[in-house]
Amino acid sequence: MPIQYILDLLGTGFFALSGALVANRKSKPDWFGVTFIGFITSIGGGSIRDILLGSYPLTWVADVNRIYVIIIAIVLTSVFYNQFAKLKRTFFLFDSLGIAMFTILGTEKALLFHVNPLIAAIMGMFSAIMGGVMRDVLTNEVPVIFRKEIYATACLAGAVVYLLLNHLQCNRNLCLITSVLVILLIRIVAVKYRLALPQVKRDT
């Protein structure tokens, strides 16, 4: 099993876990609701990317292992909800690692379809954030990307770094690791110093 596949499965599991945590916070969730939200959060971004690219079969439709990983993650979240809910820092790190991995793997996949690099960066970002957007729409919340500190923008920046290094014909592992680190770094700095993108100026 190549390392990339393992990382991808780990990202899948983590997103399911984070979706299940959010669903659990809602009032009176039953097992199905939590599982459904965890599932959509996990496979939503990659599905949107694959559908937009016309990349069939979709990753999770072709590979049932992802479903097993998602089910395990959701059972773990539901059983250890109280323990998990306390580990805010750990979760922040995993979440950031998850979106970083998904962004770069999504960007790489888009490049296989010979799209313009700008489109590839958008596809990478979509892979990372669209699962969360769908989770928020389904639970009737304003999508997280409109509330949080620099989040999707970090993904875009990482994708651009990847594309630059790739254009300079860097070794693939170097491209991947550097750009994942860029995303992680931006997220950590943004949260630590409460940085946010400037709001659009306007009169009241």
| Site of interaction with a copy of itself (CB under 8 A) | 24, 26, 28-34, 36, 47, 51-54, 56-58, 60-62, 64, 67, 78, 81-82, 113, 115-116, 118-119, 122, 133, 137-143, 145-146, 150-153, 196-203
Please state, in angstroms and rounded to a whole number, the distance separating the CA atoms of residues 178 and 164: 11
Which among 198, 204, 196, 191 is positioned nearest to 91, based on CA atoms? 191
To the nearest whole angstrom, how small is the minimum distance from the Cβ of residue 111 to a copy of itself?
13
Question: Which residue type, as a one-letter code, is found at position 52?
Answer: L
To the nearest whole angstrom, how small is the minimum distance from the Cβ of residue 84 to a copy of itself?
10
Q: Output 87 or 196, the one with its CB closest to a copy of itself.
A: 196
Please state, in angstroms and rounded to a whole number, the distance separating the CA atoms of residues 146 and 9: 27
Q: Output 48 or 97, the one with its CB closest to a copy of itself.
A: 48
To the nearest whole angstrom, how small is the minimum distance from the Cβ of residue 9 to a copy of itself?
16
To the nearest whole angstrom, how small is the minimum distance from the Cβ of residue 54 to a copy of itself?
4
Q: Output 137 or 181, the one with its CB closest to a copy of itself.
A: 137
Tokens in use for 135?
A: 């989770």
Which among 124, 101, 125 is positioned nearest to 176, based on CA atoms? 101
Exposed/middle/buried for 164, CB within 10 Å: 0-12, 13-18, 19+? middle
